[in-house]
Structure 1
């Protein structure tokens, strides 16, 4: 009986040791949460390990429970007692530094946190680094309006904030300190959008570069940077930023960003890539008519009128008020000199939107081709009533008056069209001179 009891004690100790060993392996590989779940505190060694893990997880109250249990299990162990004293000192130090952060000057709080980090008698944990991250972030935001963006030191304090949050994260990767850094990136991106609206593009770009530097996986920073480059008409850099934000699985990305990437490729004259990205966007959201129209427009420019036409009819079926679709259909039929169909879709478009000034100008052009000059003048004038100084309407107005030998009215219209297209206006004025001379005398 006594022998069986001894075997039970030995076997139980073996089990406890095995549990502790598993927790120790997990702890040493920085798997703190799993390690803590594996701790069996039936022995002082395991309780002490629970204390160490809890400190690494910044759960100092839990650490206090474990170290108290370890001391109760082995009252003669001086190391446990010293650790308990260090824990109490660490809790007091954190409480004091946090109080300074909220109630004293930021500089005093920074100095106190730095002093505590360098104090070897305190337990290593992430809370002091977190405090410094918060303090430097507050210092940056408090001084931000007084700083010069062109100064090398503009980002000094926010750089330090991110540095200490990163250090805190390396000590305790379970405390979501990366979210603190992400929030800084979000704030910088938001500020950059404001600067873009104010047309302070250099300022905005510097903010966005920092946002990406701090948190490279924040796709909105990349997308906003792409928008900035697109505004500056640097389409190659815009595409690069969009692709960085889209990541490796481009096809499954945000449909609006896919469309904008396609738009940039189109502006660069890379129609194949543009069609590819418009296709991705349309596949992602088939109700997004902008992407399908982008595809139709490229097909039109490639003189692939049939496929362009098919896409435009598809758009109109889904959204009969999409005026750009009617405009492009009119262009297709005008290019092929099918003026009857061209006028048909102008008429339908104007029924959908009586303020569609571009369609009135296009119908004026059709009437000029059909030599119905009075109707052309009427539509051109209607277009200009809706949209003052609309260049294409002035061109058609001038053309109609020229054919009616109204030299003064034609000349006035062509001169007013210069803001739209100076070269075309000059050519029209030269044509007017020769036409009046040949046809109106």
Structure 2
């Protein structure tokens, strides 16, 4: 296309937006384009190739549409590995006209924010959760995982759906043999069956692309071997148990409210700044401060530890073998009292170097909404099973209300910046 020809500003959506009046107003004035990264079966290199090929074919100088706005979902450019880097922007002219990059989630995932702002005066902004909708909904997710740790509702529910008899189910869950089932209260649990999944990537010929691609291969096998810690496991009440929240921004404070006043737990918090936070809400006056970095045997007082930290050099692999050993109350590093919940980033936990026995045989419960090599569950799978874990697919804030509000926020920002 000739540089003298008139161009049309365009917006590229990497995530679905709510089709409101605001969206249709933008549609009348700008070119609206949609691109989606493949959910599975492609490497980061292949994902990057697809994205770059798309912008080369659809935007100026190949067409009259000049890419000025980017609308991103929570994963941002994570599927591309290194993401939207400075090198890519310098190399591809199509990316050099961006005036606004907005993300309908918290955090800016895999975007070179400083370079865009300094070099091109690009406005880069994520969803501003002023009314704490995201924080509230993520705290709901934390509440679920903490409750799972103490009460094990999902494990019992799954067995009940299979047996279809409440009394017999309680006996099975206790580990009674089928011909020796007796009435039981229902507070004793023993792992009856665990399923181990071996997940690997294999190369497979794709007839549509006429080339090999990587796809997931999942092999499953079931065993009858009980997990050691579960031989002594009971469902317990969270009331008056101690919880430590690592990270005390909006999300951490909402979690504190729900644990303190929903589950009647004794709540402490710790911040990366190493400072106490002045909380305006008078209801939280009795939440205690725990010094950041004090990862010694004092950790053993806590029955639940909830991670809601960002990933940084200081927080990567914060939960390692040493940290977990200091959480132990018994000999042989037994952690059968501890529920560990991660709502921050997957790499906060050093899955690579924590002995498998810690997670598989010793810890009471691990609750995860984020994963080490997201979006795949690889490092975590060998260590987790139906009774010692609860997992959710990174949906802490995935509610109808947050989706609509964040979409409207991003669309409104694009409208204000592009004019």
TM-score normalised by the chain length of structure 1: 0.19
Indicate the structure with greater helix content. Answer: 1
TM-score by length of 2: 0.20
Using CA pairs below 8 Å that are at least 6 residues apart, which structure has the higher relative contact order?
A: 2
Rg larger in structure: 1
